[in-house]
Chain A
Amino acid sequence: MALVEAKELKKTYLAGDIPVEAIRGVSFSIPPASFVSFIGPSGSGKSTLLNMIGCLDPPTAGVLTVAGQDVSRMNARESAKFRGTHIGFIFQDFNLIPVLTVFENIEYPLLMVQNWPVQERKERVNTLLAAVGMQEQGYKYPHQISGGQKQRVAVARALVTRAELVLADEPTANLDRETALHIITLMKAMRDEFGTTFIFSTHDPKIVRNAETVFTLEDGQLAASKTEGGFHG
């Protein structure tokens, strides 16, 4: 059974009074524990598609199923609840909460979204801190750690709720080459360890090379897809 399944997905925006079709009837299927990348030029609809998969933006038409649930018609409250339970996010600018320590940033979804008990919460956060190699930095604030370390924390925060799906929008854009490689390796290791599906929107060839499935978007349509073994136009 697919973790993410899109059928004839469409998204139309209004630019003033003019309707703009950002996504035009896209269909795809992503199985669990995948490492998937959406690529394409700017304005091709990568971020729009990622926002729809992440339940941040509802599709105009079509059916989108994530973790077995139709997320196409959810209201804001239902979407927030669904995101808090099933989806993790990694952002280009790390987006850590500056007033919280590394530990507290990772703990945030368990505390403010899922209400985990204290002991379980601590154990889970410590597990994730160790998994991303940040166990010694838990007490530090985001401004006291490097960009690469911030992204490690962001990965841990995305995984802490045992989300089946992590969406990462240009996660290596603000990192140097070596750090970016470390982060990609880390995410792949997390996928292997926790069985989480990672979906990227990226221009970074390093991620594209590591992705098992690559979807190419052009003008809001799937132009090609590649799974390990070759491209399919």
Chain B
Amino acid sequence: MVNIVKIAVRNLRRYQRRTLLTSSLITLGVVAVLLFISVSGSFKNMMIGQITDSMLGHLQIHQKGYLASIDTLPLNRNLQEKQVAKIEEMLNGNEAVAAFSPRIKLGAMFSNYTETTNIRLNAIDPEQEMRTMPELVHRIVKGEKKGLLKKGEILVPELLAKGMKVEVGHDIVLVATNKDGSVNGQSFIVRGIVEGVTGPGGRDGYIHIDDAQTLLRLEGKEVSEIAIRLKDMRQLDKVFTAMSATLEPIRTKMDKPVFEVHTWEKLTPFANIAKMIDLMTLFIKIMLVAIVLVSIMNVMVMAVYERINEIGTIAAIGTSPGKILSLFLAEGLLLGIFGTLLGIMLSLVTIAALKAARISFDFGQQQGIILNPSVTLTDIVSIALIVIAIAVLGSLQPAWKAARMDPITALRHV
């Protein structure tokens, strides 16, 4: 094997320009794919992180049918105290769950005593919410961050604060319609201004869950949803399946499921963007495969054609067809390895340079997002394996042709 590789290396060095050209094509392809993966992946992960860590959590549990009517924030589809207790018991016993946060979601009128507008609110338990949404506190752009909020305080979304000319420390009034259709009002002190982010709930305000129960005159501890954070997001599908299986048998008298469980992907349209990014990555990978396949096949067909006489000679002196095949496959393999290694090194250097340059971009209402490209070892290994496998595959046909060549015909070739 060593001798086959040695001869292959010498043959590649023999046609240096062609070897360099083919390798650089492979290198270019690898760099393009790894850069795309790193940049798009960083954007995707950042957006997913922001959505799951500051708004949605990884999973949410609602009463069945809540999600279908989420735009109206229906209070009549809240989870009742006993149901909440059952879910909390299940979540407390689940090793994969890092934290969970019960919420009441409501719509209200927001008044600064001179003007009134609509507001969507998340009523939360600050302690539980902070554990479940660790990034929420970083969205507070004005006001005290520590502890998130207390009873009687409100976090006002940035856009609304600007429109209503509300500042930290101001008094405001919330007026909400209760389940029975009656109206109730309550005053709050603006605790902070919370930055708006893209996605569902990205422009919601926050109040204490106890205040919401008073404002809505709720009897018992009913909630609209329970947001769940997992210890490891990679366990999402597994945990989702297990939770769905646990909750599915709990049914109403009409034999309909009581609960519904959703992953973050079902709760935000950004999941489609993430899927599109994955699809684009796949297409870029397919393009890379095509580049490598065409380059390697081209160079190996040339190599076989130029060395027909040589193939005849080694076949005549007794080299087995298998060894002749190996000689050419080794050349393709080495070209693939060389181009891939060079591509990986160049990609890592470029990614490091992009990180160091701290390039910023805007996305939706968010400005100055710093690009933080990165690739995982899995990405690097999978790309390397794909390229090297395709390089060998691309060499197979020319190598096969060389191995099957008739020595007499080959020796006559000029």
Chain A residues whose CB sits within 8 angstroms of the CB of B314 once the complex forms: 97, 108, 112
A57 CA to B312 CA, complexed, in Å: 13
Chain A residues with CB under 8 Å of B321's CB are: 76-77, 80
Within 8 A of A (CB), among B46-105: none
Partner of B316, one of A77, A81, A89: A89
In-complex Cβ contact of A83 among B3, B310, B312, B318 (8 A): B318
B408 within 8 A of A: yes
Contacts of A210 in B (CB 8 A): none
**Smallest CB separation, B399 vs chain A (Å):** 16
Q: Shortest CB–CB separation between residue B414 and chain A, in angstroms?
A: 9
A84 to B407, CA, bound (A): 13
**Quick one: which of B286-344 are within 8 Å of A by CB?**
309-310, 312-321, 323
- Given the interface contacts A51-B408, A56-B407, does A99 sit within 8 Å of B318 by beta carbon? no
Q: Provided the pairs A80-B320, A99-B14 are in contact, do residues A111 and B3 lie with their beta carbons within 8 angstroms?
A: yes
Given known A81-B320, A113-B318, contact A95–B313 (CB-CB < 8 A)? yes
Q: Assess whether B11 is interfacial by the CB under 8 Å rule.
A: yes
Partner of B319, one of A57, A84, A88: A84
What's the nearest-Cβ distance from chain B to residue A141, in Å?
Answer: 10
Asked if B7 is at the interface of the complex by the 8 Å CB criterion, the answer is: yes
Contacts of B14 in A (CB 8 A): 98-99
Q: Which residue of A has the minimal Cβ distance to B407?
A: A56
Q: How far is A54 from B312 in the complex, measured between Cα atoms in Å?
A: 13
Contact status B317-A157, CB under 8 Å: yes
- Determine the chain A residues whose CB is within 8 A of the CB of B407 once the complex forms: 56
Q: Are B316 and A113 in contact (CB under 8 A)?
A: no
Chain B's closest residue to A57 (CB) is B408
Is B236 an interface residue, CB under 8 A from the partner? no
Contact (Cβ within 8 A) A54 B319: no
Instruction: Give complex CA distance A198, B310 in Å.
Output: 23
Q: How far is the CA of A111 from the CA of B318 in the complex (A)?
A: 11
CB–CB B7/A80 < 8 A? no
**Which residues of A have CB within 8 Å of B346?**
none
On chain B, the residues within 8 Å of A81 by CB distance are 318, 320
Closest to B3 in A: A111
A60 at the interface (CB under 8 A from B): no
> What separation, in Å, do the CA atoms of A114 and B3 have in the docked complex?
13
**Bound form: Cα–Cα A95–B128 in Å:** 81
Determine the chain A residues whose CB is within 8 A of the CB of B320 once the complex forms: 77, 80-81, 113
Q: Are B11 and A99 in contact (CB-based, < 8 A)?
A: yes
Residues of B within 8 A of A57 (CB): 408
Q: Is A44 an interface residue (CB 8 A)?
A: no
The answer on a CB contact under 8 Å between A80 and B315 is: yes
- Distance in Å: Cβ of A166 to nearest Cβ of chain B: 11
Q: How far is the CB of A171 from the nearest CB of chain B, in Å?
A: 14
- Chain B residue with the shortest CB-CB distance to A86: B318
A113 engages B309 (CB within 8 Å): no
A108–B317 contact, CB under 8 A? yes
Interface of B is mostly: helix
Given the complex of chains A and B, what is the CA–CA distance between A89 and B408 in angstroms?
12
Q: List residues 65-117 of chain A with CB under 8 A from any CB of chain B.
A: 76-77, 80-85, 87-89, 91, 93, 95, 97-100, 108-109, 111-114
- B400-414 vs A: 1/0 string, CB under 8 Å? 000000011001000
Chain A residue nearest in CB terms to B318: A84
Minimal beta-carbon separation of B318 from chain A (angstroms): 2
Closest Cβ–Cβ distance, residue B406 to chain A (whole Å): 8
Complexed CA–CA distance, A108 and B321 (Å): 15
State the CA gap A83–B320 with chains docked (Å).
10
CB neighbours of A99 from chain B (8 A): 7, 10-11, 13-14
Task: Provide the bound-state CA to CA distance between A51 and B409, in Å.
Answer: 11
Bitwise interface map of A from 131 to 154 toward B, beta carbon under 8 Å scored 1, else 0: 000000000000000000000000
Question: How many angstroms between the C-alpha atoms of A109 and B323 in the bound complex?
Answer: 12
Cα A137 to Cα B319 in complex, Å, equals: 25
Residue of B nearest to A84 (CB): B318
**Cα-based distance from A77 to B316 in the complex (angstroms):** 12
> Within the assembled complex, what's the spacing in Å between the Cα atoms of A214 and B126?
107
CA distance A77 to B408 in the complex (A): 15
Q: How far is the CB of B13 from chain A (nearest CB, A)?
A: 8
Complex: how many Å from CA A183 to CA B145? 95
Q: For residue B315, which residues in chain A have a CB less than 8 angstroms away from its CB?
A: 80
Distance to closest chain A CB from B303 (angstroms)? 12
Q: Which residues of A contact B11 (CB under 8 A)?
A: 99
Cβ-defined contact, B411 with A85, below 8 A: no
**A56-B408, A91-B411, A112-B3 known; A80-B318 Cβ under 8 A:** yes
5 nearest A-B pairs in the assembled complex, by CB-CB distance: A84-B318, A99-B10, A95-B313, A113-B318, A83-B318
B interface with A by C-beta (< 8 Å)? 3, 7, 10-11, 13-14, 309-310, 312-321, 323, 407-408, 411
Extra pairs beyond A81-B318, A99-B14 (6, CB < 8 Å): A56-B316, A93-B309, A98-B14, A99-B10, A113-B318, A157-B317
A-B contact pairs, 17 of them (CB 8 A): A54-B316, A56-B407, A80-B318, A81-B320, A84-B319, A88-B317, A95-B309, A95-B310, A95-B312, A97-B7, A97-B314, A98-B14, A98-B310, A99-B13, A108-B314, A109-B318, A112-B323
